[in-house]
Amino acid sequence: MDQKETVKQMIQYNKTVFENTFSSLAMLQDQMEKTMDMFLKQSSWLPEEGKKVVEEYARAYKKARENFKNSVDESFKKVEGFFGGAV
């Protein structure tokens, strides 16, 4: 088998593994966010400022997750381009 084709297959494999793992972790994080939201709504003892801090943290976490995903996707595009086009 051609070395270039082998490298393309390796890149595609790693990309698929990343996509599947990332999707699973994103679903887990989203579920935990829903759980935390339910907890906050039922916590009358927690001040409103505290709830806002937790909500802001969740928004920042999602934004960072999106940025990470975009960065990895862009890196895969560069690697694919380096090895001769889209995989």
Residue with tokens 């400022």: 49
Domain boundaries, the chain: 3-82
Give me the pLDDT at residue 70, please.
Answer: 98
Average pLDDT, the chain: 92
Beta-carbon contacts of 7 under 8 Å, excluding residues fewer than 6 positions away, are 83
Q: Look at residue 65 and tell me whether its pLDDT is greater than 90.
A: yes
Rounded (10°) CA dihedral 44, 33, 62, 24? 170
Mean pLDDT score, 21-36: 96
pTM of the model as a whole: 0.82
pLDDT digits (tens, 9 = 90+) for 38-61: 999 998 898 999 999 999 999 999
